[in-house]
């Protein structure tokens, strides 16, 4: 059963539900109590790390495969979740210097139309100020780095939900290695924002509705562990249900994480992720065509008043992924109105590189092999495999 089959009300965060105001409304302080630090989250989650059941489902073997590549560092994209325009790239304007409205956007994923509402996180930052925050560039990079650590073998299921166990220092060094330097307090703040940002996702056909936080739970193993070990203390993140569903259904795709983390433009990173996840038929004779209106709708990128400025921003992003050898070239065609010379839209045609085509085909073959494995088929029919039995025996 996929994560969207159940209609849920409220916002799920640590298995607690909160009522939300209408889209675009500001959230008064009494509606979202601020969180002060990661140790406070540790005491607020439903239970400490040691009390979660631990499992290693067979599907994780394919998920881990991305982190075991020798030639480059790979991770995975997640079905639907990565398509949601949930990040805010731009300058924020707070009411009274503190509060932010919710953001409502519409997008399409694989021919299905959705409406997403992003409710900002309210935290007390490192300067002791209570403020609202949208998840932005830093939060995206932190989440990508955590997913990469999960692919390298730190991932597991905690209470049947995809998770990762790590240290704050380890996460800091991973980001630094990729050219993104943050201090420990900034990383803690990013984790808090991901834990407190709420998402309401509604298909426009009105059939289902899903509410969740970017991270279902974030916490340290214990408060004493933090006091004793500081930045090397163990932390854990339980990703939300869409991540778990994508792994269970084998709908994730391999991503060149090493290249993705080098982009200067957030839009370039969005393009790379979208191509990796959606362009599964990539070949040297195939092309990927996308319109400017689609890019602006689905990416959540900042829109300029002049359409020519939006076109320039897309060209700049495409130049980056061309320099990274994800595509060999691209063409741009401006679309004018029928009765005027005014530019109404633009069409971009992307030509994939041989290296990108090779990665796509390798991922296709890998997922096909896993899906057809006799052991996994037995699992899906409710038969317990030897490996699962061994895992269950290890759970206290």
324-353 pLDDT, tens digit per residue, is 999 999 999 999 988 788 999 999 999 999
The number of folded domains in the chain is 2
Report the alpha-carbon distance of residue 176 to residue 191 in Å, rounded: 16
Q: Which of 231, 251, 271 is the last residue of a domain?
A: 251
In a domain, 179, yes or no: yes
Whether 344 contacts 274, CB under 8 Å: no
Instruction: Please name every residue paired with 350 in a beta bridge, in sequence order, or none if there are none.
Output: 288, 330
pLDDT (tens digit per residue) in 79-99: 999 999 999 988 888 988 899
The answer to the question of residue 258 being in a domain is no
Residue 124 banded pLDDT, cuts 50, 70, 90: confident
- Residue 181 burial (C-beta neighbours within 10 Å; 0-12, 13-18, 19+): exposed
Residues 311 and 344 in one domain: yes
List, in order, residues 6 or more apart from 227 with CB less than 8 Å away: none
pLDDT given for residue 100 in this prediction: 95
150 and 267, same domain (yes or no): no
pLDDT of residue 227: 65
Select from 204, 225, 251 the last residue of a domain: 251
> Does the pLDDT at position 9 exceed 50?
no
Range of the domain at 273: 263-396
240/369 same-domain check:
no
> Of 251, 285, 317, which residue constitutes the final position of a domain?
251
Q: Which residue would you say has higher pLDDT here, 186 or 45?
A: 186
Same domain, 197 and 285: no
Strands 215-220 and 234-239: antiparallel
- Quick one: 225 and 204 in the same domain? yes
Q: pTM for this one?
A: 0.83
> Is there a single domain that holds both residue 325 and residue 179?
no
**How many other C-beta atoms lie within 10 A of the C-beta of residue 42?**
22
Between the alpha carbon of residue 373 and those of residues 97, 151, 214, 377, 383, the distances in Å are: 56, 20, 32, 6, 14
Examine residue 5 and state whether it is found in any structural domain, yes or no: yes
Helical axes 137-149 vs 184-196, angle rounded to 10° = 90
Q: Is residue 202 part of a domain?
A: yes
Tens-place pLDDT, residues 135-190: 999 999 999 999 999 999 899 999 999 999 999 999 999 999 999 999 988 998 99
**Percent of the chain scoring above 70 in pLDDT:** 78
**pLDDT-derived band at 120, boundaries 50, 70, 90:** very high
Residues 17, 159: one domain?
yes
Residue 337: how many other CB atoms lie within 10 Å: 10
* Predicted confidence (pLDDT) per residue in 268-323, tens digit: 999 999 999 999 999 999 999 999 999 999 999 989 999 999 999 999 999 999 99
- Locate 64 and state its tokens: 């881990």
Domain of 311: which CATH number?
A: 1.10.10.10
Position 256 in a domain: no
């Amino acid at each position: 059963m996929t994560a969207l089959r159940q209609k849920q009300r409220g916002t799920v965060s640590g298995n607690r539900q909160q009522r939300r105001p209408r889209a675009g409304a500001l959230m008064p302080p009494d509606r979202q109590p601020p969180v002060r630090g990661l140790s406070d989250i540790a005491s607020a989650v439903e239970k400490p790390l040691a009390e979660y059941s631990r499992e290693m489902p067979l599907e994780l073997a394919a998920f881990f495969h991305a982190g075991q590549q020798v030639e480059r560092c790979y991770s995975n994209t997640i079905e639907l979740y990565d398509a949601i325009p949930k990040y805010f790239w731009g300058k924020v304007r707070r009411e009274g210097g503190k509060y932010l409205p919710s953001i409502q956007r519409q997008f399409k994923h694989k021919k299905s139309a959705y409406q997403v509402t992003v409710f900002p996180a309210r935290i007390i930052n490192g300067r002791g100020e209570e403020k609202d925050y949208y998840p932005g560039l830093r939060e995206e990079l932190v989440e990508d780095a955590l997913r990469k650590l999960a692919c390298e073998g730190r991932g597991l299921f905690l209470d049947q939900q995809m998770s990762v166990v790590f240290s704050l220092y380890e996460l800091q060094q991973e980001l630094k290695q990729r050219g993104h330097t943050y201090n420990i307090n900034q990383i803690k703040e990013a984790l808090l924002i991901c834990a407190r940002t709420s998402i309401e996702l509604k298909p426009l056909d009105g059939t289902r509705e899903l509410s969740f936080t970017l991270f279902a739970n974030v916490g340290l193993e214990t408060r004493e562990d933090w006091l004793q070990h500081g930045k090397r203390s163990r932390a854990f993140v339980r990703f939300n249900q869409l991540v778990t569903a994508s792994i269970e259904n084998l709908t994730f795709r391999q991503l060149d994480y090493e290249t993705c983390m080098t982009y200067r433009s957030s839009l370039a990173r969005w393009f790379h992720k979208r191509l990796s996840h959606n362009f599964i038929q990539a070949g040297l004779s195939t092309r990927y065509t996308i319109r400017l209106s689609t890019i602006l709708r689905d990416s959540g990128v900042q829109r300029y008043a002049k359409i020519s400025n939006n076109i320039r921003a897309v060209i700049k992003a495409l130049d980056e992924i061309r320099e990274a050898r994800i595509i060999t070239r691209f063409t741009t065609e401006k679309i004018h109105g029928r009765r005027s010379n005014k530019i109404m839209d633009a069409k971009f045609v992307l030509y994939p590189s041989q290296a990108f085509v090779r990665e796509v085909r390798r991922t296709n073959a890998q997922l096909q092999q896993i899906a057809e494995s006799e052991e996994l088929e037995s699992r899906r029919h409710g038969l317990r495999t030897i490996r699962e039995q061994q895992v269950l025996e290890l759970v206290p």
